């Protein structure tokens, strides 16, 4: 049965509008001057414009009467455009900046950003419609990442202002990525341990469930900046009163308040999903395990927990994606991470510096989301196969 793929149709038309109506690149004579915008037609000529618009037009036509074969063709066209995007961007920049112009740089303009995001969203939509498994999906992402890495390492994109910002901060950028990952990892790991303990407590004492979830919901409603601020004074007081805490790194600014705040924000989705996951296991399966002579610990670790694991991982996925974004705000209280570049860029009105911090956060969140979603799906299929 043929149906209109409204999502891909809208995104293809939106991408066409951006390619035709918005600037593709903005050429800046130096870092301070805003520069002049240029369209794709001005940068690559009629041939370049047709090379981008023709596949988008075909995607829109195929989306009107979408079939599985048509969706496969659309996916191939989307991947072709994504693979070509960094190389086309480099060619567009090279049309305006000569190799010897060291101060000149090119910023990615709205049309290119819109095209890239539309293609990424179409890729996600088509992958879901085709019900692709984790292996082929990982292969698609791998091809896209390989094309991007090759264009970057070859120097093809060195004239981009975003790359210039990175080259000037390459060492601090790597440190910021590590700080960001460590902060997120510690927050998610700590919240998982606490959430499992709370979920087990709520299962043993059902009367405390509503109150526990109410307290965690209240923490979730506090704005992130306010929560960071509320933690500064008590932690500073504790560090001043107990020097051992200060020696351990627990102070009013830095990692400690950021970690506490992230754990607080992570507890509600993690605890709720863990509790629901453990409760969702069929009672008949538990009774069968007990009938086989299993003790309480055996039932939990060998039956209940493995069956609850897919839903539990969904909670970890939601929490991790949320923590990756919130960790950027922690830079305001000296916790480091990629948020440092975001706030430095905002203070200097340097949007490419802002993007240097924001883009890796988006990529991290998308990769974690895809990996954990694939893992949860694989575990569900494994459970289904075992039951069959």
Reported as a single tens digit per residue, the pLDDT across 22-73 is 999 998 877 667 778 899 999 899 999 999 999 999 999 999 987 888 899 9
Q: Please list, residue by residue across 121-145, b when 16 or more beta carbons sit within 10 angstroms of its beta carbon and e when fewer do.
A: bbbebbbebeebebeebeebbeebe
The reported pLDDT for the residue numbered 1 is: 52
Are 120 and 83 contacting, i.e. CB atoms less than 8 angstroms apart? no
Q: What is the mean pLDDT of the chain?
A: 85
Q: DSSP secondary-structure letter at 157?
A: T
Distance of alpha carbon 339 from alpha carbon 334, whole angstroms? 10
* Neighbour count for residue 80 (Cβ, 10 Å): 12
| Position 12 confidence tier, pLDDT thresholds 50, 70, 90 | very high
Distance of alpha carbon 283 from alpha carbon 263, whole angstroms? 32
β-pair partners for 36? 27
| Position 249 confidence tier, pLDDT thresholds 50, 70, 90 | low
Are 310 and 378 contacting, i.e. CB atoms less than 8 angstroms apart? no
The reported pLDDT for the residue numbered 283 is: 78
In whole angstroms, how far apart are CA 112 and each of 7, 19, 129, 158, 284? 20, 7, 26, 17, 55
**Element holding 63 (H helix, E strand):** helix 40-64
Q: Which of 59-68, 78-87, 170-179, 222-231 has the lowest mean pLDDT?
A: 222-231
Listing DSSP states for 334-370 in one string gives T--STHHHHHHHHHHT-HHHHHHHHHHHHHHHHHHHH
Distance of alpha carbon 60 from alpha carbon 63, whole angstroms? 5
Q: What is the 3-state secondary structure (H, E, C) of 84-112?
A: HHHHHHHHHHHCCCCCCCCCCEEEECHHH
| Position 15 confidence tier, pLDDT thresholds 50, 70, 90 | very high
Strands 36-38 and 105-108: unpaired
Q: Which of 18, 39, 51, 4 is nearest to 118 (CA)?
A: 18
């Amino acid at each position: 049965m043929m149906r209109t793929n409204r999502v891909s149709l809208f995104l293809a038309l939106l991408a066409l509008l951006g390619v035709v109506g918005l600037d593709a690149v903005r050429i800046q004579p130096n870092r301070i001057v805003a520069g002049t915008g240029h369209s794709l037609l001005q940068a690559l000529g009629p041939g370049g414009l047709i090379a981008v618009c023709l596949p988008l037009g075909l995607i829109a036509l195929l989306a009107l009467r979408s079939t599985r074969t048509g969706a496969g063709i659309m996916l191939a066209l989307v991947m072709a455009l994504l693979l070509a995007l960094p190389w086309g961007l480099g060619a567009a920049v090279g049309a305006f900046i000569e190799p010897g112009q060291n101060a000149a740089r090119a910023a990615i303009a709205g049309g290119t950003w819109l095209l890239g995001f539309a293609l990424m969203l179409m890729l996600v939509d088509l992958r879901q419609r085709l019900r692709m498994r984790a292996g082929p999906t990982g292969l698609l992402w791998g091809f896209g990442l390989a094309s991007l890495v090759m264009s970057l390492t070859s120097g093809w994109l060195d004239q981009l202002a975003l790359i210039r910002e990175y080259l000037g901060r390459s060492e601090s950028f790597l440190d910021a990525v590590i700080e960001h990952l460590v902060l997120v990892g510690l927050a998610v790991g700590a919240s998982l341990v606490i959430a499992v303990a709370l979920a087990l407590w709520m299962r043993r004492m059902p009367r405390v469930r509503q109150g526990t979830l109410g307290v965690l919901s209240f923490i979730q409603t506090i704005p992130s900046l306010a929560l960071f601020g509320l933690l500064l004074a008590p932690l500073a007081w504790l560090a001043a009163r107990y020097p051992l805490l200060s020696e351990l790194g627990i102070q009013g600014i830095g990692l400690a308040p950021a970690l506490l705040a992230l754990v607080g924000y992570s507890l509600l989705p993690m605890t709720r999903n863990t509790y629901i996951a453990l409760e969702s296991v069929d009672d008949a399966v538990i009774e069968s395990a007990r009938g086989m002579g299993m003790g309480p610990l055996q039932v939990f670790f060998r039956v209940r927990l493995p069956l609850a694991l897919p839903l539990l991982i969904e909670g970890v996925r939601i929490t991790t994606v949320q923590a990756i974004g919130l960790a950027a705000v922690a830079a305001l209280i000296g916790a480091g991470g990629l948020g440092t570049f975001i706030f430095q860029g905002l203070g200097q009105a340097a949007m490419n510096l802002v993007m240097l911090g924001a883009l890796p956060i988006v990529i991290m969140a998308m990769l974690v989301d895809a990996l954990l979603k694939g893992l949860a799906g694989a575990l569900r299929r494994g459970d289904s196969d075992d039951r069959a």
